Amino acid sequence: MRTAFFKKLERMYADNSDIVVLTGDLGYKLFDEFRAIDRKRFYDVGVAESNMIGLASGLALCGKMVYCYSIVPFLVMRPFEQIRNDVAYHNLDVRLVGAGGGFAYGLEGITHHGLEDIALMRTLQNMTIVAPADRFEAERIAELSFHHQGPMYIRLGHTNEPAVHDHKPDIEIGKASVLLEGKDVALLSYGRTVSICSKAIDLMSGDSIKPSLINMHTIKPLDTEAICEIFKNNDLVLVVEEHISEGGLGSAIAELAADMDYRRKVRMVGIDGTKRYTGRADYLRERHGLSAESLVELIRREIV
């Protein structure tokens, strides 16, 4: 996913002199070609993420389209004040590209887990939040990011994520993608967990349950029209995300359900923030119930 995004950005960088790329002492091989194309538009600011956001803001005020790269905790948590005051408040064309959303860097421990980022970014005015489900979506979002106005947070996984598509989809920012239309239960997800939901649906192929699968690649702004239709047509809405249960997509869906006085079941499958483990990403997902088997068990229990 990360490689696909930056390969597309590399081609855009070569074609447009207004693109500037910044990194916080990360992604060395990833940026070799950017340096070769034009060293004057690529800056490694070192371990100084707050300064990186300040520099990006200044460049954006000068008319540049700026992409800032780091892993999620260093990109979002460390310089949050600068993102809030310099980027979001002034509605600048700065793209915050965070790798390692969720448990992608699981072995490095809790300091490298990206589990609170959506909650933080949702609070910021003018901020758009996107999270591709696979490399095909990552490439498409790279294209869309260049034409988008205002700040954007792009949450990437790492590498070798399962493919959800077999070609680059024609997705739009702010519009949910219906991957499977059914009834009974709607699974809403984004990023790496879309493939987990898809596998869960495959495991239920012999059941009488007819699920829907909705790819919420845009978390903010929320596609309220699509979600309202989902509320009308499904008895159970299941929000699945590799993020703490508070403040993420599940919270956004629950807020909308409350506003609509929606009386059916909304369940959130996310990360229990009180329990932290270290290990490989798949192990950590299973420990927190983010496996296809766990989802099937939950769905069968809720639909009786």
Tell me the domain boundaries of the chain.
2-155, 177-302
Averaged pLDDT of the chain: 95
**Segment 151-178, tens digit of pLDDT:** 999 999 987 889 999 999 999 999 999 9
Mean pLDDT over 52-63 rounds to: 98
Q: Looking up tokens 């988008």, which residue turns up?
A: 148
pLDDT (0 to 100) of residue 84: 98
Give the CATH class of 2-155.
alpha beta
> Cα(121)–Cα(237) distance, rounded to whole angstroms?
24
**Segment 198-250, tens digit of pLDDT:** 999 999 998 899 999 999 999 999 999 999 999 988 889 999 999 999 999 99
Q: What percent of the chain has pLDDT over 70?
A: 100
Q: What residues have CB less than 8 Å from 169, skipping those under 6 apart? A: 136, 137, 140, 177
pLDDT (0 to 100) of residue 160: 80
Return the minimum-mean-pLDDT range out of 114-118, 274-278, 290-294, 296-300: 274-278
pLDDT at 98 over 80: yes
Mean pLDDT over 135-163 rounds to: 94
> Cα(27)–Cα(211) distance, rounded to whole angstroms?
39
Q: Does 177-302 match 2-155 at the fold level?
A: yes
pLDDT (0 to 100) of residue 298: 95
pLDDT at 304 over 70: no
Give the CATH class of 177-302.
alpha beta
